[in-house]
Amino acid sequence: MKKIIFSIAAIIGLTPIFSQEETDSISNKQKGEPFEGIDITWQNGSDRRQKNIWKDLKYCTPSLMMDVNYTYSFNNPIDNTVVGSTALARNNEVQLSALHFGGDFNYKNARARFMTQFGTRSVVIPRNDYSPYRGQYQLANVYRYLSEAYAGYHFNKWYGVNLDAGLFMSYVGLNSFYQTENWEYQASFTSDNTPWFFNGLRLQVHPSKTLKLEAWAINGWQSYGKFNSMPGLGGNITWMPNSNVKLLTNDYYGTDAAGIESRKRFHSDNSLLVRYYNNPTSKGISKMAFSLTGDFGFEKGGGVNGFTDGDSLHGPAQYFASGMFYNRIWFAKNKFAWTIGGGIMSNPGRYLVLYPTGQASPLPNANNPALTEGAYPFSANPGDQFKGWDCSTNFDFMPNQSFTFRVEYVYRNSSVPYFAGRGGVTSQTGYSTSTLDPNWRPDLVKTESRLILVLLFRL
């Protein structure tokens, strides 16, 4: 059996490992580690630590992250509910947004990684996936407390080849799911409205030290299950020619409209990161960098027509176009940092909009999948317009590589009433247990300003 597996792997150019002698012999065929010697600690969406204290452990590399936030909305909704965010859930309260623990495990080229997901994000993130409503077994609860969980095999080919299966991060939209890796806390529309995770298969190939190629066969667009019969397909290309530049593209194709197999989705996410100044020993400015991200995509078929308004047969335009830009400056040997930036988004059809919470519930309506459930649903019909823009600025204090204290101000604007106003989105009293006044409506407004205080810890 071993010879058969070995022969098949040899045909496709990959060599599995079966004994210590084979391991010692074949390991020499890998040319080196991917991105070896390239500094990624400054990059938006990457681990900023200079050293991993666990790296000398033989079979595992543990990881622990905590994210505690307090946010004040100047709209001051009576129910304290945040609308339209995956980072925040509650206003005017100290909340444990995320507790992640787990790590990476390896033994003779077998590899696995898992990270838990406790805190408000274990509710906020799964609620944006409607695929568990197809069929039974409550997939949203099955996966709720996991942010990553996959296993696979590492092949010593070129600079490494990995084949993994399970739940893994998507990084479409540049920002990392883990806030300790991001320059800003409240992500712009480009990141917050695109997926944080995929569920399926991933093949990573590092043909050179500076290049990574990925291919995905997944259940769908941030979905635990499949909406239709076709799986989602996609991939990533990341190129880092040196420590000062990172260029990447993520591309996706699938069918993600429940029960509408003829509706196809395409999405392309593209980012450029440049560190244009670096003097790490300076007591003044020590680093300066920017990130620029542009996304475009569309849905076509099944009553919608991509980027172009059609006739009664083909339906209205339904697309996603967005961009965001951030600039970051580090001071005092990288102990302080200031970030400023923002972005814009247009999403006719609202197919990627984070639906308002509360009475405008994110759950799909059984009678009309273009509406959310609740007494006062938020519509997502073909032709429904949604445009938004945002800007933010923050200041970080980072006394060491494991701790960040952040103060951030955010302003967001939408073309339709969307954010929680003073009256909230739950009831006239702010409590879900209250009997609704027949004259009450969710108080959705077009703008919001908020102040965010954050403690981030990583070990």
Alpha-carbon gap, residue 337 to 116, rounded angstroms:
29
Alpha-carbon gap, residue 108 to 17, rounded angstroms:
7
Contact criterion met (CB below 8 Å) for 96 and 88: no
Q: Is 66 helix (H, G, I), strand (E, B) or coil?
A: strand
Nearest to 342 by CA among 365, 323, 360: 323
Residues of the chain with pLDDT under 70: 1-28, 357-375
The secondary element (H helix, E strand) that includes residue 123 is helix 121-124
| Amino acid at the residue 151 | A
Contact criterion met (CB below 8 Å) for 169 and 181: no
Q: What is the pLDDT of residue 357?
A: 66
The answer for residues whose C-beta is within 8 angstroms of residue 409's C-beta and 6 or more apart is 392, 393, 394, 449, 450, 451, 452
Output b/e per residue, 351-377; b: 16+ Cβ within 10 A: bbbbbbbbbbbbebeeeebbbbbbebb
Nearest to 227 by CA among 364, 117, 85, 319: 364
Nearest to 445 by CA among 428, 459, 425: 425
Q: What is the pLDDT of residue 446?
A: 96
- Expressed in angstroms, the distance from the first to the final Cα of the chain is 42
Other CB atoms within 10 Å distance of the CB of residue 60: 15
Pair of tokens at residue 455: 């403690």
Contact criterion met (CB below 8 Å) for 313 and 301: no
Alpha-carbon gap, residue 247 to 211, rounded angstroms:
10
Pair of tokens at residue 129: 């996936």
The answer for residues whose C-beta is within 8 angstroms of residue 114's C-beta and 6 or more apart is 102, 103, 146, 148, 149, 150
Nearest to 39 by CA among 288, 244, 271: 244
Alpha-carbon gap, residue 129 to 322, rounded angstroms:
21
